[in-house]
Amino acid sequence: MNLFFLSLAIIFCGGLLPLIFWRQFTLMKISGILAIGGGCLLGLIDAGTKLFNPGPYAASFDYQNAFSLSFQIDALSAFFHVAIYLICLLAALTATTTWTTPKRRFARPVITFFSVC
């Protein structure tokens, strides 16, 4: 489960990095695409290992004995995670062709950030 949460954090940072580097177009494009692609690749590896090693994987977080947040991944949800991460990885790789001109520099990172969230 640690790799799952790490991949989600990297994907979230991949949406946040273009907002930070919005004045440097090349750095903005490279950092966003590499971070989102790397996070999706890590998530794809994690979901693939959970798909081929059956059994439920769970993580639970308690907050002051009042709230509980639980995650569980089994083989069926791992299959859907593989499909989602694969599509998101391909979308991140094809983003290199859509971000070719520095027009509306601030609009694209904002759209990327909110689409990732």
Listed by start position, the domains of the chain span 2-116
Taking only the tens place, the pLDDT of each residue in 64-93 is 888 888 889 988 999 999 999 999 888 888
Would you say residue 99 has pLDDT above 90? no
Phi, psi of 57, deg, nearest 5: -115, 130
CB-hemisphere CA count at 13 Å for 64? Answer: 1
Containing 87, the helix (H) or strand (E) segment is helix 75-98
The three-state secondary structure class of 99 is coil
104 pLDDT band, cuts 50/70/90, is low
| Distance in angstroms (rounded) separating the CA atoms of residues 84 and 97 | 21
Q: What share of the chain is helix, strand, coil (3-state, %, to 5)?
A: 70, 10, 20
| Distance in angstroms (rounded) separating the CA atoms of residues 95 and 49 | 27
- pTM for this structure? 0.77
Count the neighbouring beta carbons within 10 Å of the beta carbon of residue 92: 23
